[in-house]
Every structure is written in structure tokens, then in C-alpha cells.
Structure 1
Amino acid sequence: MGFMDFLRGQLIEVIEWLDEKGQLVHRFPAYDNAIKMGAKLIVRESQVAIFVNEGKLADIYGPGTYTLTTQNMPVLTALNSWKHGFTSPFKADVYFVNMSNYTDLKWGTTNPILLRDADFGMVRLRGFGNYSFRVGNADIFMTDIFGTKKEFTTDGITGHLKSMIVSSITDIIGESKTPAVELASSYEEFGELAVQRLQPRFEAIGLILSSLTIENLSLPDEVEKMIDRRTSMGALGNLDNYMKFQTAEAIRDVANNPGGGAVGTGAGLGAGMAFGQMMGQMMQPNNVGQQPSQQQPVQQQPQQPAPPAQPSTTEGQACTNSSCNHILQPNEKFCVECGAPRPQKRFCTQCGHEMNANAKFCSECGTPT
């Protein structure tokens, strides 16, 4: 088996690589790292081929087809001091670097971000989104990140990139001091600022941050419930008018439910009294068209002198003589003005209600006298 591999190493004619999903760097599997002079090198679009000789980066090839000779391999030729072209194999590592854009990579906060909010105080914020990047400088990436591995995928670097992204977004949100209820309106601005800040750090390792998107910044459930309650209160508008409307609705419901019993009757009476008080306050001149918080203070009016007392008619009964207006005292059996006898108390034979002396019908039940 080893001998067959050796023969295949001597007969290699084409050096190429078909991109694989998620793979950034691939080393060409030449037997004993021996590549035949005169072989064909095929570099596809969005690829770069790099020759490494004894741990040093030598020649770099962009997209195209090349015949490996001493003329188009100047660095590798100089490193090996080849003065004459020959067809014997030479030893070198060939790496293909994928320069295409890697999209839809996810980032998210592992732990909540603690921030200070003007409305809710200290809040914990979580966020997630996606980003895309590509290799911008193959030399720097191979030297600082790749090393001497056989292959390199996005899984080997996304953890590091995610930490950089979360750290930058945390700083941006904290410095902006944007209220928690207004974060959703700033996702795009935060993403653009994050790209500007992160680009130099990406370029330092040979990468380019193509885009970054913030999909969501979420608050704890307790804070979201508080926001929902505040939104509900705002939707009600004028709370004073809303309470009056609710009271009127309650009175209507009680009136439409006559079978509610004593409890329902008591609730209806209470609601009616409350509604009457509110209507009385609303009809006061100083309160018309004003909110409770906007009512003007009631000015003190100067006290007027009390009117003279009028003679009371509750001490006795009126004389039965229609032409006499004398009021009989409790101890008078006859009118001292006209001599008419004192009227006797009369009671309804049907309901027992006390009636006036001249009444023809009971004022309580209508029974004729």
C-alpha cells in the first residue's frame, strides 16, 4: 500500500480542491508532500492556493490554472536554490483557502447583560442575531489562526468571533443609554455601529466582518409584564372617564338582572350611589371639562347673614275652616279665631296611613274615604 501511494505521488498532475460546506482551509493530500514539477494547479473563484515550504509561506495563487514551473514559482524556487528546471518531485505543503462569504452564522448572549435603565432600574438583557464573515487576508489568517492543521472549519473560530460580537454590542447598548422600551427601534443602528467597531479586530486576524444583524433584545418576563400593564393603562386614556363608564355599565348590568337577589340589589344601590356622587362632582362648575388633576381650587365665598326665622307650622294643625288661616296650638280644641272644632286624625282603613282631614282618597294606597 505504501508503494502504491509513492507511485501516485510521482504521477500527480492536477492539484485542486472542491469547496466543502463550512471549511475555511484545506491541505492538499500529496504523498510525503511531494509534488511533481509541471503539475497543473487549478484555483477556483473565491479560492486562494498557498505553498508552504519548511513552515514558511512561499507562493500564493489566486483564481486560475497554472503549470508549476520554476518561472511561475519564484519564491519556492529561490527557497530551494533551483538553478535549472527539472521534473522530479519537490516537497511542499499546498493549502487552499476559501475566500467566499460565510453567512447566517449565529451569535447570542450566553449570560444576561446587566444594564441600568431609567424607567425600570437594573435590568437583565438577552440578545441574539446572525452575522457573516470571510477571509480577507490569507497570509495573516494562515499565520495567526490556522497554524499547521490539516483542515480548518468555521466551528474552530465562531466561538471566538461570537465573544467579540457580544462584548462589542454590550458596550454599544450601555453607552447609548437607550430606554428599554425603545431598544427595538435601534436594532439597525446598533448593528452598524458593531460592524464599525469590530472590523479592525477582525482584520487583525485576516478576516472581514461582512454584516451583523440584531434580531432581538429581550427583557426578563417580570419587566415585560410591567411594560404590558403600562401599555394597557395608556390605552385606556382618561382614567376618570373610564371609571365613570365602568360604573354606568355596572348599573346597567344590575338593572338588566332583576333576579340577582339581595346581594345584587345591594351592589346595584352601591354602584348607583357612587355614580350619583361622581355625576354630582362632574356637574360642578369648577369641574366641567377638567381632569381631576386639573381642577381649580374652590374659592371661599363671603358668608351671607342668615335669613330671619319663619314661623313654624309643625307645632299645630291648620283650622278646618278654609277661610281661616289660624294654626291651632296643641292644647286648643277649638279655633280661637272662628270657633271651628279641632280636626281629628284620620287613618286609611286599607293601609293604616294617616290622612288629612279633608282628603277624599288615601295618598298611600288610593283607597276612597
Structure 2
Amino acid sequence: MGFFRNQFANVVEWEEFRDDMIFWKWNNREIKKGSKLIIRSGQDAIFLNNGKVEGIFQDEGSFDVDSDIIPFLSTLKGFKFGFNSGMRVEVLFVNTKEFTVRWGTQSPVLIPAPQLPGGMPIRANGTFTFKVSDYVALIDKVAGIKQSYVVEDVKIRITAVLDQLLMKWISREGKDMFNLQANASDIANGIREDLDMQMMSIGIGITGFQVMSFNYPQEIQDMITKTASHEMIGNMQKYQQVSMTDGIASGKVQSGGTAADMAGMMMGMNMANEMMKNMNTNNPNANNAGQGANPAAGQQANNGQNGTSAPASGESGITPKFCPNCGTKNEGSKFCPNCGYKLA
């Protein structure tokens, strides 16, 4: 009798459990008298009849369908197994764990920037986490037409809208377009909220979203790196001067003919003059009152301030043609007709 009683019995379980599978459907088979339901750790079992939820079982273990399951089904409580007939239902096994997925932009996202008409091309990457949050919505929108659902299906759905969300939140929170990492947390929180609202319709909850890094085009990244290395210089004008000097010293700045050489030489002279001017501005002690159009007059003025007098040119017996004190032309007189300075 025992053989006949259990010859049609079967085991209802997730036969090939996969970590990347969100749910798997056991169907198209009748549950016979004496059958067992096995629920493993991290799984929930949902009994469906004609697409309607009959019962949700969350405790792990092995259960007798006849005595432990049927009494808790909403419309099948009084079901009685016949000798040759069984209960035809679907059982949906749901993976209850939290899934972690890596994401990355497949192509650069063009972020509007005032200084770049075409936008700033930016790539980004990071991770997001999700889990099943609404069984009814999941069954209604996904499980009703699919036999299984995997993490890759969710990733494809999310990456399809991720570029638009990155553009939205970078434009909103990325005040410094060249230092987006400083606002990565705010950008990520905004994207998570938007994704959660979108995925809610299929019963998926986005529990976390992280931006690990923003990547600029190589030439822009090189500029950011060099700007940081020259931060001590203080302003862009000096940064350009140092960059030009580095280019000349390394040989990266090449001659382009006479016109180009002249232009380069003039640029170098202008840079040198500008740097000298900046040095004099930063060092006011370098400007002496005696450094005027007449160096000799300036020297005499400095000597006069120090209580000494310049030696008279006349001591050599020769009368100078110009006054060493004020520069006035002399016609052979022993004293300057302008300032009275002794010339001989």
C-alpha cells in the first residue's frame, strides 16, 4: 500500500539554484499526494493558481504539501488529493538575497558645459544593489510571462536609463565640472532615488547606488593633473608660462619656420618680461629710486643720501662734456651751468 500511496509523489524545490537568478518557476507538473516542498536558505516559495497568489512560504525546511501547505492556501484549503489526480499549481521560488552589480557607461555621456558647445564627454562606473521588494508586482509584470529572471536582465533595464540619469544629476549637483568626485555622493543618491521609482513597477527595490569614479577624456585628464601639479604657481597665466617652458625644454615645442621661430622668440621675450615684472611686483625692495634714465645721476643721488659725494671728474684734469650729476651738456666750464656741480 505504501508503494501505491507514494508512487506519484514528487519534490517541489528549486532544482538548480543559481546565485545570479532572481526567481525560478516550478510549473507544468501536478503536485501529488505525499509530495514535499523544500525551501532552502535565502529562498521564498509562492504558490500560484491561475496567476493568483495562493500562499507565500518563507521559512526554510522540508514541508509536507498535504498537511503543511494546503491548509494555508487561500482558495485551495479544502483540496483533497485523489488516487490518480493531483493539484495543478505553479510554485515560484524567489531569491531573497541582495544583489550587487557593477555598472559602467558604455559610451561617454555628454554633460552640458558652458565652455564646451558639444558638452563635456564623461564616463563613469560604480556599483548598485537591489532585491525583490514586491512579490505581487514581480509576478504581474515579469513572472507572468517569464520562466526565470536573472541579474543581467535587471542590469540591462537599468543601464538603458542610466545615461539620462547621470546627465540629470551631474548637471544638477556637479557645480565643479572638473571635480565631480567631490559631489559623487549627492549624484549617486539622486540616481538611486530615480532608479528605485522606476524599478518599483516590476517589484525590484534599488537599495544602494555608488559612483566609484568619473573619467574624463585623456587630454582633459592630463590638463587636470598638470594643473594640480602647478597649483603652487597660483594663476593660469603663470601655468601657461611654465607649460611653454616645459615644452621648449622637452623639445615638444618644435620650430615651424622663420615666422614661427620669430613668434616663439617674441612669446618667450614677453613671458620673460612678464615674469620679471611679476617678480618686481612681489619684491618692492628691488625698485631703487636711483634706477632712472641716468644711472650716474642715480648713483650720485644714492651717494648723497649716504653722506658721501662722487669723485669729481675734474680731478683727472679733464673737463667732461656732460655733467655727471644732472646730465646737462657742458661747453668747457668748470661748473655745471644747470646744477652748479663742480666739473674740474
TM-score bracket, shorter-length normalisation: 0.5 to 0.7
Q: What corresponds to 1:218 in structure 2?
A: 215
1:26 partnered with 2:24: yes
Displacement after TM superposition at 1:172 (Å)? 0.8
2:332 aligns to what SS in structure 1? coil
Q: Which deviates more, 48-57 or 124-133?
A: 48-57
Q: Which deviates more, 188-197 or 13-22?
A: 13-22
Label 1:74 to 1:236 Cα distance change in 2 as closer, same or farther (>3 A).
Answer: same
Q: What corresponds to 2:166 in structure 1?
A: 169
1:160 partnered with 2:180: no
2:70–2:76: 8 Å Cα contact kept in structure 1?
Answer: no
Label 1:93 to 1:280 Cα distance change in 2 as closer, same or farther (>3 A).
Answer: closer
1:168–1:194: 8 Å Cα contact kept in structure 2?
Answer: yes
Quote the Cα distance in structure 1 between the aligned partners of 2:241 and 2:8.
93
Label 1:70 to 1:218 Cα distance change in 2 as closer, same or farther (>3 A).
Answer: same
Quote the Cα distance in structure 2 between the aligned partners of 1:36 and 1:283.
95
Residue pairs, 1:75-224, within 5 angstroms: 76=73, 78=75, 82=79, 88-103=85-100, 105-118=101-114, 122-224=119-221
Displacement after TM superposition at 1:164 (Å)? 3.3
Equivalent position amino acid for 2:29 in 1: N
2:17 aligns to what SS in structure 1? coil
Quote the Cα distance in structure 1 between the aligned partners of 2:9 and 2:282.
102
1:133–1:211: 8 Å Cα contact kept in structure 2?
Answer: yes
Q: Deviations over 1:13-58 (max 9, x none)?
A: 56455631211112236xx511123422222232111122233332
1:139–1:206: 8 Å Cα contact kept in structure 2?
Answer: yes
1:204 aligns to what SS in structure 2? helix
Choose from 48, 54, 59 the match for 2:50.
54
Label 1:277 to 1:123 Cα distance change in 2 as closer, same or farther (>3 A).
Answer: closer
Quote the Cα distance in structure 2 between the aligned partners of 1:25 and 1:78.
24
Quote the Cα distance in structure 2 between the aligned partners of 1:307 and 1:129.
77
Label 1:191 to 1:310 Cα distance change in 2 as closer, same or farther (>3 A).
Answer: same
Name the TM-score, length of structure 2 as normaliser: 0.62
Residue pairs, 1:231-310, within 5 angstroms: 231-237=228-234, 287=281, 289=283, 309-310=329-330
Equivalent position amino acid for 1:156 in 2: D
Label 1:140 to 1:37 Cα distance change in 2 as closer, same or farther (>3 A).
Answer: farther
Displacement after TM superposition at 1:109 (Å)? 1.9
Label 1:308 to 1:86 Cα distance change in 2 as closer, same or farther (>3 A).
Answer: closer
Quote the Cα distance in structure 2 between the aligned partners of 1:99 and 1:33.
24
Q: What corresponds to 2:306 in structure 1?
A: none
1:108–1:166: 8 Å Cα contact kept in structure 2?
Answer: no
Label 1:41 to 1:115 Cα distance change in 2 as closer, same or farther (>3 A).
Answer: same
Bigger fraction of residues in helix: 2
Q: Deviations over 1:128-185 (max 9, x none)?
A: 2111211112221122112243322222332002223333232111122422222011
Identity score, percent: 20
Displacement after TM superposition at 1:191 (Å)? 1.4
Label 1:55 to 1:225 Cα distance change in 2 as closer, same or farther (>3 A).
Answer: same
1:311 partnered with 2:331: yes
2:81–2:87: 8 Å Cα contact kept in structure 1?
Answer: no
Which sections of structure 1, spanning at least 5 residues, go unmatched? 1-6, 248-272, 291-305, 314-369
Q: Deviations over 1:248-275 (max 9, x none)?
A: xxxxxxxxxxxxxxxxxxxxxxxxx99x
Q: What corresponds to 2:310 in structure 1?
A: none
Displacement after TM superposition at 1:85 (Å)? 6.4
Displacement after TM superposition at 1:201 (Å)? 2.0
1:27 aligns to what SS in structure 2? strand
Q: Deviations over 1:87-115 (max 9, x none)?
A: 75221122211111111x12222332222
Label 1:230 to 1:307 Cα distance change in 2 as closer, same or farther (>3 A).
Answer: closer
Equivalent position amino acid for 2:283 in 1: G
Label 1:282 to 1:17 Cα distance change in 2 as closer, same or farther (>3 A).
Answer: closer
Q: Which has the greater radius of gyration?
A: 1
1:43 partnered with 2:30: no
Quote the Cα distance in structure 2 between the aligned partners of 1:236 and 1:175.
31
Displacement after TM superposition at 1:120 (Å)? 5.1
Displacement after TM superposition at 1:308 (Å)? 6.8
1:69 aligns to what SS in structure 2? helix
Q: Deviations over 1:299-339 (max 9, x none)?
A: xxxxxxx88753339xxxxxxxxxxxxxxxxxxxxxxxxxx
Which sections of structure 2, spanning at least 5 residues, go unmatched? 246-268, 285-325, 334-344
Quote the Cα distance in structure 1 between the aligned partners of 2:154 and 2:139.
13
Quote the Cα distance in structure 1 between the aligned partners of 2:189 and 2:122.
20
Label 1:131 to 1:51 Cα distance change in 2 as closer, same or farther (>3 A).
Answer: same
Quote the Cα distance in structure 2 between the aligned partners of 1:148 and 1:135.
17
Equivalent position amino acid for 2:105 in 1: T
Residue pairs, 1:314-325, within 5 angstroms: none
The aligned length equals 262
